[in-house]
Chain A
Amino acid sequence: MAALAVAAVGCSTTTSDSPAPQAQPKSGGTLTFATDADPGCLDPHQSPTAASQLVTRGVVDSLVAQDPKTLELKPWLAESWTSAPDATSFTFTLRTGVTFSDGAPFDAEAVKANFDRIVNPATKSLLAASLLAGYDGTTVADPRTVTVKFKAPNASFPQAASTAFLGMQSPKAFEAGPEAVCRKPVGSGPFVAAERQPQAGITLSKRADYNWGPETAQQKGAPYLDQVVINIVPENGVRMGSLRTNQVDAVANVPPKEVDGVKAAGFEVLSKAQPGIAYTLNLNAAREPLSDVKVRQAIAKAIDTEALVDTLYQGKYPRATSVLTGATPGYASILGTSQFDTGAAERLLDEAGWKKQDDGTRAKNGKPLSVEWTFITPAREQRDLLAQVVQQQLKAVGVDVKLAPMAMGEAIAKTARGELQMGDISFVRADGDVLRTVLTAPRGGAPAVVAPEVPGLLSAAAATVDDSVRDENYAKVQRSLIENATAIPVYDPTYLLGVGKAVHGIVFDPQGLPSFHEAWVSR
């Protein structure tokens, strides 16, 4: 497991007037944060994006908290919970005295209202509903006791319940309809979101009477900051310049090539490897010409992931060694050394009957070797550049790749229809069960499963709380995806956060996103 870069943010030691890293936290003030991606809908039940979670994590609390260091589950809004032996039902005992910021009480009925809403098709959940796959209803025993039931085992449900996606929102706020919740989610969290105007920034204000922080947090009460203002600044140069000139206090997604310069200027760059599915290219074995395992293996061997990652990410993002990232429970190192080997790739393609033509392309029975890559846009982390390099690397062995940029919604629909040839995906979740999420529901660009034993391995893992069995099954699934060359892992997504000199106490949550609950500013 990768070391987690979780620490109170110290100051640069180059300036003499900055306080010591262990200085006493100071209350008050506003932290301005510049992020690169517009979060769009701010309802975690609807939106699947990390950009949205960045905002909503501080607004909604969850039943359970996951420790960012040990990844153990700890109480939060639930004081305790038990799982049925077959992992089909979970009973939570709730904390009392918790209220939502609109005054509505948090109780068993509220938990039921939240889960019922997530699976309701009218909510149009893009992710949360898949974490509740097989949901069979919630029963309220008394105001403090609630049982969530599933039709099939779902051992990782408590972990799923620790994410903001399954966070608790005020049932009273649901009445205004899903679009209203997108603009203003109402939770019981340490921050309260103001109604968001389209495309504008987002303002989070301190909830002064907050005192139910999770066991995993240093700070259980109200946040130090009065306000967090989140601005959307897509242009990398402008975002980084704004940090350097102290126009903002912290910036999201420092471009890897800027990390050293920002550090040299006396700013801190916090790095956190994200758990979940690595950035992976996927080949659909159900579509010609990828139905031939030799063609898929040739493509996997023709891509020089090491060179890609070094050039594009300058060593700031690690090369992926499996479908799961190194920071994910259940990760197994499959590709200790890179599988890049153009000679072997050419041989495999020759064996598969794709003969090299005079112009360097390959063809079989007069048909050119060509693959369409449904590329999800807007692309982050320079994935558009990455795609072009992959295109060139594959061209070198005679595989023609056509890039077909597509919005996420359409890509999901295309994957669901089975029309995808080649796709790309990454997915954040601190549990190996994320494999089930992307392999069994039609995520956009998700890998196709060829080995018949994979679904069985995943549901067996979901049915046991025995970590050794789960790890073993997840390792088999990772190996199967890579050996069948339906998945080609490229890099482990890593959050690079630039922090100004006056900012302290930003920590990463287990999903690898910055949290402002314990942050403070010295000025």
Chain B
Amino acid sequence: MRRAGFVLRRLASAVPVLLAVLTLSFVMMQLVPGDPVQTMLSGAGPAPTPEQEQALRHQLGLDRPLHEQYFGFLADAVRGDLGRSVQTGQPVVSAIAAVAPASAELALFALVLSLVFGVGIAVLGRVTTGPLRSLCHGVPVVFMSTPGYWVALVLIEVFSFRLTLFPATGDKGFAALVLPAVTLALPAVGVIAQVLGTSLAAVDAEAFVVTARAKGAGRWRVLLRHALRNASIPTITLVGTTVGNLLAAAVIAETVFARPGLGRLTLQAITNHDIPVLQGVVALLGVLYVVVNLLVDLCYVLVDPRVTADRIRD
């Protein structure tokens, strides 16, 4: 019951955040140089007449006072209408919907890989000794500091061109998902392994771990039953922000691996000055962040009984 109330309150608090995101994206459209009407009218024929420009301006509602445009934009956005792409004339919502599944698939798989390997490396770094331990401590930094573009090209060269294990490009089937997902996951693996590793080390000195050990619990039991759960809070926060970073990194992964997706849609919109599409992507990101933050908060409650729904309301 308390949890249901908590979820509802969090959802309600998302409304002003989304409003702020939409307002920002509206302001962005006003500030970006370039005239959408001229972009839409530019052709090889004779230059558009002022009448043509005026007609299109009227049709798009760009001749109305700014505050009317703003509220019209908000009302349309609430109804799920984010306008049309300046470049293709396609509704922004369907342009995003067409590529979103491919991006979601990639991001989710990358997230799973980051968690499995990030947690795996952190745990190995605690339970092993000798060179393997040093490796588990050193590798995260390498992963975090390697540029994604380079990683993508090396992965393609080794696993596609030399070993021919995976296709280099395309979006057909699971095999095509592997290399781009690894490219995306690598920096996240590094961050998660490092943060979780540090937390585990800190928890190791806590009284309850010492007690557990004194009672004769084995290395693994202490780690899995006691330390990991306590150490995971900072990592959960981190995973929340990782989701946002995945989209930024997807621009590179999708270009190099020639996959359709939100990253390439964004890049295309930027090069073509397609502001409505950019606005749509920004709004979607806003929604995503709100949802992910909500999930992160819920995870806190599930993982750590000391955190109650009331205590993290703010």
> Which chain A residues have a beta carbon within 8 Å of chain B's beta carbons?
34, 38, 40-41, 48, 119, 121, 124-127, 129-130, 133, 178-179, 182, 197-201, 231-235, 237-238, 241-242, 244-245, 247, 377-378, 407-410, 412-413, 416-417, 437, 441-443
Contacts and interface: CB of A to CB of B under 8 A. Distances in A.
B160 A247 contact: yes
A199 B99 CA distance: 8
Nearest to B264: A199
Contact of B161 (A124, A245, A377, A409): A245
B169 A410 contact: no
Interface of B: 34-35, 38-47, 52, 87-90, 95, 98-99, 153, 156-157, 160-161, 164, 167-171, 255-258, 260-261, 264-265, 268, 271-273
A269 B296 CA distance: 54
A198 B44 contact: no
Nearest to B169: A233
B157 A235 contact: no
Given A199-B99, A245-B164, A441 B44 contact: yes
Given A247-B169, A408-B42, A409-B39, 4 more contacts: A199-B99, A241-B157, A412-B43, A412-B44
Most chain-B CB neighbours within 10 Å: which of A129, A199, A413? A199
Contact of A235 (B167, B255, B261): B255
B156 A126 contact: no
B271 A231 contact: no
Contacts of A233: 169, 258
Which 10 pairs of residues, A with B, have the shortest CB-CB distance? Answer: A199-B260, A130-B44, A416-B47, A233-B258, A413-B38, A409-B42, A412-B42, A409-B39, A241-B161, A179-B89
Contacts of A133: 45
Contact of A247 (B34, B168, B272, B273): B168
A240 B256 CA distance: 12
A410 B87 contact: no
B54 to A, nearest CB: 14
A382 to B, nearest CB: 17
B254 to A, nearest CB: 8
B169 A198 contact: no
Contacts of A437: 44
B178 to A, nearest CB: 15
Contacts of B40: 124, 409
A438 to B, nearest CB: 9
A198 B95 contact: yes
Contacts of A179: 88-90
Nearest to B43: A126
A324 B260 CA distance: 37
28 contacts: A40-B88, A121-B52, A127-B44, A129-B43, A133-B45, A199-B99, A199-B261, A199-B265, A200-B260, A235-B255, A235-B258, A238-B153, A238-B156, A238-B256, A241-B156, A241-B161, A241-B168, A247-B167, A247-B169, A407-B273, A409-B39, A409-B40, A409-B273, A412-B43, A413-B35, A413-B38, A413-B39, A416-B47
Given A125-B45, A129-B43, A234-B258, A198 B98 contact: yes
A232 to B, nearest CB: 6
